[in-house]
Structure formats: C-alpha cells, structure tokens
C-alpha cells in the first residue's frame, strides 16, 4: 500500500485515525497503531510481515538479555548485528553478490531471485539503533514487546523513512496526547507532502523516464533536462513521503525529526548531506563513522572512514554497481572538500559554491539513476556532445508536457514558504491561508490520482 493511493487516503488513514482516537489508554492506542501498521505492511507483503515480526521478537529478547545480563552485552550485540545484517544481506544482496562473482570469475552460480521485502533497509536500521543504544546504555531495554513492535512497525515511516531512532520517540510511546491543533497541522503537512509527490514528482518522472529509458539516444539538451527532472523527481518523491510521514506522526502524537532542509541550496557537498536524507546521514555518522574513529585518529584514518561510510551508503541504496559508484563518488568529493579544497571553497563567493555543488549533485543523480556502466558511459558522453534534442522531445510529448511543470518544481526548492512565514506568520489570517492552500493541494492531488495511473515510487526498492 502506498501513501499516494485512494485505498490509503480514503480508507486506511481515516480508519486508523478513528480507531486510535477511540482508544483510551496509551497501551490501547499503541495496540491499534501496531495492528494497523501490520495490516499496512501485509497489504503488499503478506509473507514478509512474518520476517519483520520475527526480527522484532528476536531483537526484543536480545535487548532484554542485555539488561538482565550486562556482562554478556557484547556477544548479544554481535548476535543482533549478525541476525539483522545477515537478513538484510540475504534478501537484498545475495543475487548481486552471486551475479558479481559470476561476472568476475567466470562462474555460473545460480541466482536466488529473492524478492526484496519492502522497507527492510529502513526497519533494519531502526532495530539496530535500538539494540546499539541499549548496548551503549543510552536507553533502557523495552520490556513491553507491543511497545517495541509499535516503534518498529509504525506505518508512517515504515517503508520510506525517516529513520526514527528509538530514543527520539521513547517517551511518546509511553505517554502522548494529540490536540486539535496537532492533528490539523499534521494533516496539513500530510496534504502538502501528497502534493509534492503527485503534482510534482510524478510529472518530473515522466520526463526523466523518457530521457533515461534503455535504448534512447537523446541529445545533450535532453540529457541535461532529464538530469534536472530526475533530481526534482527524487527530491519531491522522497521529501513528499517524508512530509507525509512527519505529518501523520504528529496526527498520532509523535514528533519525527526533519529529513530535508532545502538541499538544493547547499553550498558544498558536506552541506548537501546535512540537508538531504538527514536521518540516514545521522545514522551512519552515529553508528558507523564515529565507532570507526571518525576524525580522531589522523588524516589517513579519517579518509578511510569516510570512504567506508560512503561505499556502505551507496550499497544501502541498492544492490548494483552504480550505487557503489555513487557512494564512492560522494566519498571522494567529501575527502577533497575536507582535505584539499576547503580553503579555496572558503574564499569562493557563495553563489558560485551553490552552483558548483548543484552541478556535482546533478552528476551524482545520473550515477544513481542509470543502472549499467555501459549506459552511464553513453550518457556522460552525450552530456558533452552537441547533438540536438528537438526530435527527441517531439517524439516524447509526455516529456515535453512535464517540462512545463519544471519552473514550478524548481521554485518549490526555494525557501518561499519559510520566508512567507517569517514575514506574515504572526498574522491571524496566515494559518487559515495555509490550511486553505493545503486543502486545495489535497483536492488537486486526488483529482490527479483519479485521472492518472502513472504513480511511481523510487524508495520502495530500499
């Protein structure tokens, strides 16, 4: 079940809001939310919901074991790492490893063709954050399995994030209340997130998919336009879902951390990753980069740590060599920024830094989007060519129509809403105007869903 579907918007979400509102005790509310979350997951993954429940049960027992037997915390943590990373590795990377061995060594190992459980990358990282924090003594083991299951399976952030650390919502799992204002503001955030996804991301996807479809030979202008459209597609697709998750979390009494902060206004690659998918960057920093030594053991070790983290980040996004290349690309850029170019960047005008960062990010999204190395070579060669693109756009009217939305999508990356709020936010009418705007976006999004069957979702494969 996807957020941008009539089943979710008109049936599932109203039902869960009604039932959680009728529940009196916090345990009953958690139970209702957990049950609906399991139904949400089982809607498309009826078998793999058992895998998630097994993971919750085993890691819940491991957490309790750490609390009861402190001297055995380390072997218990290693057991959790082996179970969770082993499951993630099997379901997500088994075929990638076998195919790579076949190609590199000339073997003919049969592929497993294992279906990827939806959201396994997200909920595995949430489980690991809980177990590691218990191991570190930063949080007490959760003795109520229902509460832990509610945290792991909570549907707003289950399949696309943000990655919510247990300590962020620990107290809200124990006690929370939802005011009318909380519910209204959460619903408004949810409506605007839906608009990002349906009105902008889906339109940008039409152009990006046409340009990067296998066998296409678009000219340089079309390739650059496709790269821009894909950058906007993935931003609105993912940030729209994050907005919906944050909004729904508030509707149920939870406060999730922001996951995006105007990333395309970043003035360095480091700054970009402080603004894009913030929860993932924070997770890797807290649970991988710092334990490896961070920047505390000299320059050579910091470079190694950065490259290790970013190669793992690339692999987390997908079991393919283009994702490894994408992660390595950002690792190299961050090493250069921190150890070679930092003084030159400090002297550079901010507008130039922003333009250069945006160009690097666009090139990075091409690595992310184009799946084979041969196709990547053709695309990068085409970017520097002088071939025309008029014939391509004439042959792909849907791409040309999507480009008409491009100025609106580009404007949406600017801090217009924040500036309007800073200027007019204290006026009594401003809040009502915001609700009216959200209602209009919600209605237009539903109308678009009614008339369109094209509704891709990039992050389902993670």
Q: Quickly list DSSP for 191-215.
A: HHHHHIIIIIIHHHHHHHHHHTSTT
pLDDT value of position 364: 96
Q: Is the CB of residue 250 less than 8 Å from the CB of residue 154? A: no
Q: Is the CB of residue 204 less than 8 Å from the CB of residue 233? A: yes
Largest interatomic CA distance in the chain: 70
pLDDT value of position 453: 64
In terms of Cβ atoms closer than 10 Å to its own Cβ (0-12, 13-18, 19+), residue 385 is: exposed
Evaluate if residue 459 carries a pLDDT over 70.
Answer: no
Q: When comparing pLDDT for 153 and 220, which is higher?
A: 153
| Average pLDDT over the chain, rounded to an integer | 90
Of 16-25, 366-375, 397-406, the range with the lowest mean pLDDT is: 397-406
Evaluate if residue 9 carries a pLDDT over 80.
Answer: yes
Evaluate if residue 241 carries a pLDDT over 80.
Answer: yes
Average the pLDDT over 110-130 and give the result. Answer: 90
Alpha carbon distance 279, 162 (integer Å): 6
Average the pLDDT over 247-269 and give the result. Answer: 95
End-to-end alpha carbon distance in the chain: 15
From 277, 317, 339, 396, the catalytic residue:
317
Evaluate if residue 395 carries a pLDDT over 90.
Answer: no
Which residue, 206, 187, 185, 196, is CA-closest to 160? 196
High-pLDDT (> 90) share of the chain, %: 68
pLDDT, one tens digit per residue, over 262-315 is 999 999 999 999 999 999 999 999 999 999 998 888 899 999 999 999 999 999
The question of whether 396 is a catalytic residue gets the answer no
pLDDT, one tens digit per residue, over 180-190 is 999 999 999 99
pLDDT, one tens digit per residue, over 16-58 is 999 999 998 999 999 999 999 999 999 877 889 999 999 999 9
């Amino acid at each position: 079940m996807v957020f941008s579907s009539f089943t979710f918007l008109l049936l599932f979400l109203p039902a869960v809001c009604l039932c959680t509102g009728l529940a009196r005790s916090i345990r009953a509310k958690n139970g209702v939310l957990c049950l609906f979350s399991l139904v949400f997951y089982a809607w498309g993954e009826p078998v793999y919901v058992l895998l998630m429940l097994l993971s919750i049960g085993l890691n819940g027992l491991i957490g309790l074991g750490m609390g009861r037997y402190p001297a055995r915390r380390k072997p218990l943590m290693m057991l959790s790492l082996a179970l969770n990373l082993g499951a993630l590795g099997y379901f997500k990377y088994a075929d990638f490893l076998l195919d790579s061995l076949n190609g590199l060594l000339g073997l003919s190992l049969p592929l497993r063709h294992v279906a990827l459980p939806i959201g396994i990358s997200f909920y595995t990282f949430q489980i690991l954050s809980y177990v590691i924090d218990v191991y570190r003594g930063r949080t007490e083991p959760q003795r109520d399995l229902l509460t832990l299951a509610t945290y792991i399976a909570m549907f707003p952030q289950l399949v696309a994030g943000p990655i919510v650390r247990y300590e962020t919502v620990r107290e809200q799992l124990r006690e929370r209340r939802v005011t009318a204002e909380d519910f209204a503001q959460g619903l408004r955030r949810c409506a605007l997130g839906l608009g990002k996804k349906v009105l902008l991301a889906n339109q940008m996807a039409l152009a990006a998919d046409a340009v990067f479809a296998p066998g296409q030979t678009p000219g340089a202008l079309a390739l650059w336009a496709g790269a821009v459209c894909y950058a906007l597609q993935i931003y609105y697709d993912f940030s729209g879902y994050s907005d919906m998750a944050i909004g729904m979390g508030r509707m149920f009494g939870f406060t999730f951390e922001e996951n995006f902060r105007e990333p395309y206004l970043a003035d360095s690659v480091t700054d970009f990753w402080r603004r894009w998918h913030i929860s993932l960057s924070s997770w890797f920093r807290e649970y991988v980069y710092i334990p490896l030594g961070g920047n505390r053991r000299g320059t050579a070790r910091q470079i190694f740590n950065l490259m290790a983290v970013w190669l793992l980040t690339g692999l987390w996004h997908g079991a393919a060599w283009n994702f490894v290349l994408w992660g390595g690309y950002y690792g190299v850029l961050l090493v250069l920024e921190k150890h070679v170019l930092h003084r030159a960047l400090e002297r550079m005008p901010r507008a130039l830094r922003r333009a250069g960062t945006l160009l690097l990010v666009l090139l990075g999204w091409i690595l992310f989007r184009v799946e084979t190395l041969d196709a990547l070579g053709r695309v990068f060669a085409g970017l520097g060519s002088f071939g025309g693109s008029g014939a391509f756009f004439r042959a792909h009217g849907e791409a040309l129509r999507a480009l008409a939305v491009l100025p609106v999508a580009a404007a949406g990356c600017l801090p217009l809403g924040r500036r309007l709020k800073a200027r007019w936010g204290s006026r009594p009418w401003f809040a009502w105007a915001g609700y009216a705007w959200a209602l209009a976006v919600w209605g237009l999004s539903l109308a678009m869903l009614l008339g369109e069957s094209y509704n891709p979702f990039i992050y389902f494969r993670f």
